[in-house]
Amino acid sequence: ENIEKDERSFEFMCGVNISLGECYLAKGDIRTAAYFIDKARNGIPQYRERDKYNRLRALYALESSYYSRTGDADRAAMYLDSALMAASRFERLTGERFILLGEQELQEAKIEIKNQQIARQRNIILFTLTGSAAILFALLVILGLYRRRNAAYKKLAQKAQEWSMQEETVRIPVSIAPEN
């Protein structure tokens, strides 16, 4: 967090120095403009690469203006070329960054989709296991009731057989008269 804070303060100070250099150059105070150009140049090595090229572009453009004001056309052209190269590098790095961010977001979206599919499959498995357990429980209950009913039926049949055996021994023969 402190490193990021330091980077932001360097970025701010470099931006301020470049802006002040542009202001003094537009005002015609070449000496003060050179002072702020030097201060801005000293702050640039503190930047991350992407931000460094953006600031270098601004600084080189300022230095090109400075040298064209002082009459040094060769240095002005050299710094103008450097500003164009820094701008090109900044655009390339920024484009690569956006591509990397897009690829990262795509990977995160794929991971999220896979996580949703896993959660859905987990729910299906849980539902299937719960349903299977409920069906197994119902079958066990039905089997238990069937066995109990079957045992009761056998018991009843045995008692019925015992009663029929008792009736045959107790039965008194009844004669059937022709009048009846």
CB 34 within 8 A of CB 75: no
What is the spatial distance between Cα 124 and Cα 137, in angstroms, rounded to a whole number? 20
Tokens of 135: 């069906």
Q: Which residue has the higher pLDDT, 129 or 172?
A: 129
The pLDDT > 90 percentage for the chain reads 25
Predicted TM-score (pTM) of the model is 0.43
Cα dist. 97→55, 59, 72, 129 in Å?
17, 23, 37, 47
pLDDT tens for 69-103 read 888 888 888 877 888 787 777 777 767 767 777 78
Output the CA–CA distances (angstroms, integers) from residue 7 to 3, 47, 48, 111, in the order listed.
6, 6, 8, 33
62-73: average pLDDT: 82
Mean of per-residue pLDDT scores for the chain = 80
Smallest CA-to-CA distance from 19 within 39, 47, 46 is with: 39
What are 16-59's pLDDT values in tens digits? 888 888 888 888 888 888 888 888 877 666 555 556 666 777 77
Coil, helix or strand at residue 89? helix
